[in-house]
Structure 1
Amino acid sequence: MKESSIQYRVFRIMAAQPKVVPLEGEIDLHVSPRVTTTLNAAVKAKPRNLVIDMENVSYIDSSGLAVLIEAMQKVEKYGGKFALAGLQENVKPIFEIARLDQVFQIYPDVDSALSRE
């Protein structure tokens, strides 16, 4: 019985830690459902901070943006913080045109996102 108590405490500590979800490739209509599944699993753990590492994302379309918006809304609903990190130069304009650079907290890299308060 004591062992399960320890496991529970470890789980609780881990759940409170920041979580980083790396994405890569092109996030479009065909890939968005898999990204949704991945982000929903991350959100379900209710991390205090959820950082999406976009360093290896070469393209994102409106369906990908919608997935990120939905994840951000879910995190904010339970009081967590959501951030994007490492947007490539060719991906940044997509966020700027949609004015989502004013909606998302965007950091140059994961370390910067994790060190925010």
Structure 2
Amino acid sequence: MSDNDNECVIEILDDYAVVRLRGEVDLSWSQQVRRAILDALGDTGKVGVELSEVSYIDSSGIAALVEGFQSARSRNQKFGLVAVSIAVMAVLQLARLDRVFPIFADLDAAREA
């Protein structure tokens, strides 16, 4: 997969921001993902990172997610992972972060939490 296949879109739904990621989240792209997550937290205070179309994530991508989670928690904001792909879930489980992040099956469940 080339960098052109990566996509990061922030969508605002009322008081909730969704950061939709697609592609491979690795060192070449993780800073853009980090910035998008932190920007979304500044916009609404409730953020879900939608990961259903992420085919690969490395430690730098996981670090971007962790930073978003910690930033939200320090400011009493809501943060969760939405529709996590099998590839991402495998990494989260390996690092035992599936026990740390709020993980939601879909956007409706995330917004209701």
1:96 matched to 2:93: yes
Quote how far apart the aligned CAs of 1:41 are: 1.3
User: Map of 1:11-30 to 2, 5 A cutoff?
Assistant: 17-30=15-28
| Counterparts of 1:106 and 1:28, CA distance in 2 | 21
What letter is aligned with 1:35?
Answer: V
**Which one has the largest radius of gyration?**
1
What letter is aligned with 1:36?
Answer: R
Aligned equivalent of 2:38: 40
Quote how far apart the aligned CAs of 1:90 are: 2.4
| Counterparts of 1:105 and 1:91, CA distance in 2 | 14
For structure 1, the 5+ residue unaligned runs are 1-13
Aligned equivalent of 1:70: 67
Quote how far apart the aligned CAs of 1:85 are: 0.5
Alignment TM-score, normalising by the size of structure 2: 0.82
Secondary structure class of the residue paired with 1:91: helix
Quote how far apart the aligned CAs of 1:115 are: 1.7
For structure 2, the 5+ residue unaligned runs are 1-11
Which structure has greater helix proportion? 1
| Counterparts of 2:87 and 2:21, CA distance in 1 | 16
Secondary structure class of the residue paired with 1:57: strand
Aligned equivalent of 1:115: 112
Question: Which structure would you say has the larger RCO, counting Cα contacts within 8 Å and 6 or more residues apart?
Answer: 1
Alignment TM-score, normalising by the size of structure 1: 0.80
Identity %: 36
Which structure has greater strand proportion? 2
Aligned equivalent of 1:105: 102
Deviation beyond 2 Å, 4+ runs, structure 1:
none
